[in-house]
Structure 1
Amino acid sequence: MSDKHDLDAEKAYVVDEKKIDEPIDLVEDLEPENSKIEAVRLAIPLTDDPSLPVITFRFWVLSFIFAAIGAVVSQYYYFRATTGTYSIYFVNLVTFGLGVLLAKYLPVASFTIGSHSFSLNPGPFNIKEHALIGISVNTAANCAYAIDILSSTDLMLNYRIPPIGAILLIITTQCLGYGMAGSLRKYLVYPAEMVWWTNLVQVVFYNAMHGTEKFKARNMAGRLSYMQFFWLVAGICFVYEFLPQFLGPMFLYFDWACWINPFNRDIWAIFGSIKGPGVLSMSFEWNSIGGSTLYYPFFSQLAYYGGLIFYYWILFPILWLTDAMSIRTYSRPLTSRLYHEDGSAFNVVPLLNADYSLNETKYEAGMPAVMTPMYALAFMVGFISLSACVSHIICFHGASILKAWRSATAGGDRDIHTKMMDTYPEVPQYWYAIFYILMLALSIFVITEYSLELPWWGLLIGAAIGWVMTLPICAMQAITGFSPGLNVITELICGYMLPGKPIANMTFKCYSYMTMYQCQGLLQDLKLSIYMKIPPRNMFVGQIWGAILGGIMNYFTMITIIDAHRSYLDGSSQDPNDLWTGVNTQVYWGSALIYGALGPQRMFSSQGPYGFIFWGFLIGAVIPVIQLGLSKIFPKYQWEKFNVSVFFAGIGYYVGGYCNGFLFSLISVILFGFYLFRYHKSWWSKYAFILAVGLDTGAAITGLVLFLFFSGGLGPRFVVNPPSWWANYVTPQGDNGPYMDVDRCGDSSGNWTGGALSW
């Protein structure tokens, strides 16, 4: 066990050597106790200063400003074709500068309110204060899952839920997971194996900005300091990103194989990335590649991108060229929309009753609805991923989780960073319990008062599912960096419970899924707070603050964008530049139709065309068991490295198309995760994290600038249309001329020169 030495009230807390009277290894134990995870040892300093103030006036001001901006930008990207994000690294940079500025100019005098005294300026802007601002903003700067319900009813049913009900729906779904996070801390946060990989790069960045000893002395290429190197990378990326994000969208969808014969439907269907799987497609836009490819675990990423390539680059072309399941009948190779058997689009709105339930008589009088084959298969692989997640965690990590439980209850051996948090009072369990009960009560009020079709007992069942599935899913995320979604199984269960009710299905899925997903985000932030040594009670306040503020801003941004771009988002017309899209809403609404309005009994009966998808549960559950058996027979092979759940985890994300970026992402994974990490580890440890931060920050700032000053974020006067040139082929009529999309792939008139019949 390690002793803790308080060196000085003004100095940092440092973990020292092991006790001399314990048996020690003269080589290893002369070093301070450290994490058993190599990447954590490389990234996380073993220092702390308990005297630093955390929740300050500066925290409230800066977190409010940047949480509001982040929620707006994330909502903006929800309706964009490219999957950009509001970079937390951008937030860290700007809040650092503003925090230092406030510390310099705010008055230092104390103010008294009642029995409480506080200062607007308690001292220098410190690293913990800074990190909690980032955590609050990160909690807020997401697109709330309840937006899927609100946008689906607005765009697909022309029904807008009143503002009070909409905001309460967002807040309750975002906050219900807090009680679970408190109960699961001991299993999913405290053990060293629960790394939560995205936290590592944030810790590196915070320490680099604040000039802690571990990073201050690092000299980068060209004798640049750590932060100078960051600024160089971020600046270059910021300027460059204007090309693929605005000036030349063709570099975002670089479907070079289509140019061989752009009007051949087979070429379009196989090599196009906007409506098809984008075989061999490239993307020169950094958001499509992602900074996580530089530092996530190699085998996890290999499994993830290997699954995408197998499904979209190998399986799909085979199905398409053989016309399996009549895949060529439908107008788009990849889509979540429903069709009739003759390939015509299925429209459920005329078939709904006044309460949005399915009118059985009208439905039976017409042709039945069918799914495209790739959409049906996406459900099957979703079932495989979910059951494989549970099976894999039990087979290969069950003993570790059980050990963590025993350790937590018996006060046994713990991770060094968890030990260092003993300095601070913990959040009592009843705080989490009270907040959970409050959110559950408000949730019941929302679903009953605003006619969301879900009975109160259905909500309780959904919350229970979230409790059961959170442990394996979050453990997978913490260990590998990837995890399956819970949305598929929740909509299936609700479809059997409440058939014919699409709004109830969406609501049930949202509450069940978000109970798990939001808990996952909170657990990740709790791990970050341990790495950064933020007092737990300060964390509790910061996370709740961010979730509520972000949800409110999400709602008002959604309303603004829908009112401005409704025709592009509801599918009645297409943006000629392929920048605005309602594909996320369409996927969510498509699932609600399948599981809610039509019901799984009708769509997935054993006699129907999609009954095979339920075999996914058995397949996913069995494969990890086989791997466990093989690991006992052939122990020298690391069978657990091939994670079936991760292999299938990302497939459902692209069921609506826009499959760009696979190739360069995989190249980045092999270069950084395999070659550099294995053969040039010192270089990797020095550059990988800061490169990821710089590139992600530059790309995110470009997206923010484009949103505010080119896409109408500050008002209709700030709208600038991209120029028309060879990398953005838009005619004066506002379309792509003879081509279907901006990638110059596909015939806009539908008169193909080969590959398939006209449609």
Structure 2
Amino acid sequence: MATHTEKDDHYLSEKNDFDLNEKGLQADGDVDLKEEQENSPIEAVAASVPITDDPTLPVITFRFWILSFIFTALGAVIQQYYFFRTVSGNYSIFFVNLVTYSLGKGMARILPSNKLTIGTYSLSFNPGPFNIKEHAMIGIAVSSGAGAAYAIDILSATDIFLDYRINAFGSLIMIITTQCVGYGMAGMLRKYLVYPAEMVWWSNLVQVVFYNTMHNTDDFKRIRLVRGWSRMKFFWVVASCCFFYQLLPQWIAPILVYFDWVCWLRPFDKNFWALFGSTSGSAGILSLSFDWSSIGGATMYLPLAAQLSSLGGIILNYWIIVPIMWMNNILGTKTMGRPLSSKLFYEDGTQFKINGVLKDDYSVDWDKYNAGKEANMAPLYALGFMTSFIALAGCCSHVAFFHGAELWASWKRVVGADDEDIHTKMMKVYPEVPQYWYAIFYVVMAGLACAVCEIYNTQLPWWALLLALFVGWVLTLPIGVMNAVTGYGPGLNVITELICGYILPGKPIANMTFKCYGYMAMYQCNFLLSDLKLGHYMKIPPRCMFVGQLWGTLVGSVFNYLTMILIINSHRAYLKGDPKTADPNGLWTGNRWVLSKKFPQVGWSKVNVAIIAGGMGSFPNGYAVGVVSSLVCALVFQGYLRRFHKNWWSKYVFILSAALDTGAAFTGLLIFLFLGGGLDPKIAVNIPSWWGNYRTDNVTLAEDYGANYPYIDVNRCGAADPAMWEEGSLLKH
């Protein structure tokens, strides 16, 4: 669920602990498959997805409408809130599933069985016990909408940096169309990317096991954890502890977010600040973070090889390449004032201000631009673009080299296969969604998108929008196959930027809009295809899926927009990045809108160049937070506990990670709405300035702080007043 990033749903069941390697075909132990019954040809699917179904279970119920609305809205607010923060949090779908299970059961006990009738439509308040399909449908609806909408990039960037705000109606249509255009594509591609057995979508298997464990067995209620606690009690105790702990780094002592201990060795050395600090464009080498939001529960259960590849890319780029370029001033890196920056600069290092060279329609006035100095991209930000292309090419080559044969075999079975998957056969009992429903929906969304681009000043003509959608169409099918079969696929954000930059140069809003529609068409399509496969495994009627996914997307879009407006109105000065009004604690940012055959025993298939390159481009905006802490967490949980204490790992890790993520998410929500003045600035509560949060607002610096003056910036690198710096030491007075 996305700033926009991929879903982190990869938790496993305590009951069936499968070790899915990249092929996803290997189990930890012998699996007793029911040979006497027809089953999936994929071993892991056969072992984890039941071949039973009860078509009489209600799915779209009153409980579904209420619970899906609440948790979709909550997730959209939390994820959109974190979009504007320097560190990201996670709205755990595991938390949603746990809480909606309890609430659904409670509603089944207390609600009356009366019916709500509107015309010919009738809906019972309580159709009976809270069932597994109803539960899964709530999770799917929440998954569809509880993220940070990608279109917020466009709307917030134009509002914050160009002082141009698209009105509420246009903004909502833009958000909805970018979120929904991929939905129409997903429906039309489902027979290729959902129905065949080979299209597994591996992350869904653990959810299937989880739902079935909760509803079909008593294990969930019977198993006891530490001190004899139930899993639910353990979850809430850990989440509560994390909630209160997170008040320390997020509110009381932000120094715990950016614990740049190396800077303390030479706190007045500019080179130390540039390389060992973790804020304001520094590289964050060896920096620690005690903020769970910057670590995340995914480090406890994602495959260790993938995590090491990503963290290895981060270390290669930010701990090796950045110091080399900075210390040798390669390509004028030092001229920009800081190693990492997404901004543009003149050759002398002063920041380029685009407003001075824009026309009234916000396109570049080339006469004004050519009359002045040339703007340059920061060298290391340009390097980030290069790593994005490496990631795209690396993904394709990795899949070709290590999965090419099976991909080709799978594709031949997908197209025109006579033998259907057992789960596809079982789904025939339900009325199918006609293909033209999705086709009409896609055409309507594309038409509304064209209208938004033409009516509002997006600089993107209708024909360019159609080109963006075409790019998404062309690449969605092969990328979808990669995602379904291997669990990984490349993104299109950089490619779409390149195409639009070529056909519409000098139009920044057009570039963001083109990228948003081209990239999101593919991304959202794959996201929704994965959920369609989950519904396929759970035997949810296709027409219920159509309604549920659309409902979640619409609810999430509305709350994404409302949250964006609330945050921009209350933190505009911080988000603009003006040094005179900078966030004293460094927690708000507006920067996110811009960026084997010879030695088979080595296991080269686990060395994924695409993931390494993705790690190299992780921090283009200059907030290199949580690298060491994430590495330690991954090694402890995935490297040590899973290998040497697997029973403990499988029993605790997923509920522990979900509880920690949930507690941290609610802390962020509390700070945003109340302590931070999100609802009303009058109710904001600011912690007084002290050693853990030295604030630079409303103080007279040296007069108020005396000897502590050089240290008042939260990262303790003596950067409170950059004018005091020279190359290697503090200027002497």
TM over 0.5: yes
Partner Cα separation in structure 1 for residue 378 and residue 73 of structure 2: 39
> What is the CA distance between 1:473 and its match in structure 2?
4.0
- Match in the other structure for 1:287: 293
Q: Secondary structure in 2 aligned to 1:391?
A: helix
- Match in the other structure for 2:728: 755
Letter in 1 for 2:495: I
Counterpart selection for 2:608 from 631, 635, 643:
643
Partner Cα separation in structure 1 for residue 569 and residue 252 of structure 2: 25
Change (3 A) 1:224 1:65: closer
Which digits, 9 at most, give the CA deviation of each residue in 1:443-494, with x for residues without a partner?
A: 1111112132212221111111112222454455556665543111101111
- Match in the other structure for 1:707: 672
Change (3 A) 1:294 1:472: farther
- Match in the other structure for 1:84: 89
> What is the CA distance between 1:738 and its match in structure 2?
2.5
1:455 has 2:466 as partner: no
- Match in the other structure for 2:560: 554
1:213-612 alignment runs, 5 A limit: 213-274=218-279, 275-411=281-417, 421-477=427-483, 483-572=489-578, 573-585=581-593, 587=594
Letter in 2 for 1:221: V
Letter in 2 for 1:127: I
- Cα contact 1:339–1:346 (8 A) shared by 2: yes
The sequence identity of aligned pairs, in percent, is 57
Q: Secondary structure in 2 aligned to 1:370?
A: strand
Letter in 2 for 1:247: I
Letter in 2 for 1:522: L
Which digits, 9 at most, give the CA deviation of each residue in 1:181-200, with x for residues without a partner?
A: 12443554456676656545
- Cα contact 1:483–1:645 (8 A) shared by 2: no
- Cα contact 2:711–2:718 (8 A) shared by 1: yes
> What is the CA distance between 1:232 and its match in structure 2?
3.1
1:70 has 2:75 as partner: yes
Partner Cα separation in structure 2 for residue 660 and residue 418 of structure 1: 45
- Cα contact 1:76–1:557 (8 A) shared by 2: yes
Partner Cα separation in structure 1 for residue 661 and residue 422 of structure 2: 30
Which digits, 9 at most, give the CA deviation of each residue in 1:679-720, with x for residues without a partner?
A: 443333322222222222222222222223312233334311
Partner Cα separation in structure 2 for residue 665 and residue 133 of structure 1: 31
Partner Cα separation in structure 2 for residue 163 and residue 337 of structure 1: 28
> What is the CA distance between 1:397 and its match in structure 2?
2.9
Letter in 1 for 2:131: N
Q: Mean alpha-carbon deviation: is it higher for 426-435 or for 350-359?
A: 426-435
Letter in 1 for 2:224: N
- Match in the other structure for 1:694: 659
- Cα contact 1:191–1:414 (8 A) shared by 2: yes
Q: Mean alpha-carbon deviation: is it higher for 292-301 or for 249-258?
A: 292-301
Q: Secondary structure in 1 aligned to 2:123?
A: strand
1:685 has 2:660 as partner: no
> What is the CA distance between 1:309 and its match in structure 2?
1.3
Change (3 A) 1:484 1:284: farther
Q: Mean alpha-carbon deviation: is it higher for 99-108 or for 569-578?
A: 99-108
Letter in 2 for 1:218: I
> What is the CA distance between 1:129 and its match in structure 2?
1.4
- Cα contact 1:390–1:473 (8 A) shared by 2: no
Partner Cα separation in structure 2 for residue 462 and residue 689 of structure 1: 39
> What is the CA distance between 1:288 and its match in structure 2?
1.4
- Cα contact 1:89–1:696 (8 A) shared by 2: no
Gaps of 5+ in 1: 1-25, 589-629
- Match in the other structure for 1:141: 146
> What is the CA distance between 1:230 and its match in structure 2?
2.4
Partner Cα separation in structure 2 for residue 41 and residue 689 of structure 1: 23
Partner Cα separation in structure 1 for residue 431 and residue 192 of structure 2: 19
Cα root mean square deviation, aligned? 2.9
> What is the CA distance between 1:78 and its match in structure 2?
1.6
Partner Cα separation in structure 1 for residue 209 and residue 33 of structure 2: 25
- Match in the other structure for 1:160: 165
- Match in the other structure for 1:593: none
> What is the CA distance between 1:146 and its match in structure 2?
1.1
Partner Cα separation in structure 1 for residue 441 and residue 229 of structure 2: 48
Change (3 A) 1:111 1:504: closer
Partner Cα separation in structure 2 for residue 294 and residue 413 of structure 1: 39
Which digits, 9 at most, give the CA deviation of each residue in 1:106-150, with x for residues without a partner?
A: 221345555544312101222321222222222222221111111
Partner Cα separation in structure 2 for residue 581 and residue 492 of structure 1: 25
> What is the CA distance between 1:442 and its match in structure 2?
1.1
- Match in the other structure for 1:150: 155
- Cα contact 1:389–1:472 (8 A) shared by 2: no
Change (3 A) 1:204 1:236: farther
Q: Mean alpha-carbon deviation: is it higher for 666-675 or for 200-209?
A: 200-209
- Match in the other structure for 2:705: none
Partner Cα separation in structure 1 for residue 207 and residue 714 of structure 2: 36
Partner Cα separation in structure 1 for residue 480 and residue 730 of structure 2: 47
Partner Cα separation in structure 2 for residue 700 and residue 420 of structure 1: 39
1:741 has 2:713 as partner: yes
TM-score, normalised relative to structure 2: 0.87
Letter in 1 for 2:251: F
Which digits, 9 at most, give the CA deviation of each residue in 1:354-376, with x for residues without a partner?
A: 22222222111211001111101
> What is the CA distance between 1:671 and its match in structure 2?
2.9
Aligned residues: 690
Letter in 1 for 2:713: D
Partner Cα separation in structure 1 for residue 302 and residue 45 of structure 2: 12
Q: Mean alpha-carbon deviation: is it higher for 530-539 or for 54-63?
A: 530-539
- Cα contact 1:71–1:553 (8 A) shared by 2: yes
- Cα contact 1:300–1:480 (8 A) shared by 2: no
Partner Cα separation in structure 1 for residue 618 and residue 416 of structure 2: 42
> What is the CA distance between 1:54 and its match in structure 2?
1.0
1:672 has 2:672 as partner: no
Gaps of 5+ in 2: 1-29, 702-707
Partner Cα separation in structure 1 for residue 615 and residue 419 of structure 2: 36
Q: Mean alpha-carbon deviation: is it higher for 118-127 or for 42-51?
A: 42-51
Q: Mean alpha-carbon deviation: is it higher for 200-209 or for 694-703?
A: 200-209
Which digits, 9 at most, give the CA deviation of each residue in 1:584-641, with x for residues without a partner?
A: 13x26xxxxxxxxxxxxxxxxxxxxxxxxxxxxxxxxxxxxxxxxx43x444543222
Counterpart selection for 1:106 from 93, 96, 111:
111
- Cα contact 1:196–1:524 (8 A) shared by 2: yes
> What is the CA distance between 1:257 and its match in structure 2?
0.9
Counterpart selection for 1:124 from 119, 126, 129:
129
Letter in 2 for 1:138: S
Partner Cα separation in structure 2 for residue 561 and residue 212 of structure 1: 44
- Match in the other structure for 2:22: none
Q: Secondary structure in 2 aligned to 1:712?
A: coil
Change (3 A) 1:134 1:442: same
Partner Cα separation in structure 2 for residue 412 and residue 688 of structure 1: 42
TM-score, normalised relative to structure 1: 0.84
Which digits, 9 at most, give the CA deviation of each residue in 1:273-331, with x for residues without a partner?
A: 11212111111122211212222222222211111111111111111112211111112
Letter in 2 for 1:682: N
Partner Cα separation in structure 2 for residue 233 and residue 44 of structure 1: 30
1:53-64 alignment runs, 5 A limit: 53-64=58-69
Partner Cα separation in structure 1 for residue 636 and residue 197 of structure 2: 27
Q: Secondary structure in 2 aligned to 1:738?
A: helix
Letter in 1 for 2:272: I
Change (3 A) 1:584 1:211: same
Q: Secondary structure in 2 aligned to 1:55?
A: coil
Q: Secondary structure in 2 aligned to 1:583?
A: coil
Change (3 A) 1:29 1:732: closer
Letter in 2 for 1:660: V
- Match in the other structure for 2:684: 719
Letter in 1 for 2:587: L
Partner Cα separation in structure 1 for residue 313 and residue 42 of structure 2: 26
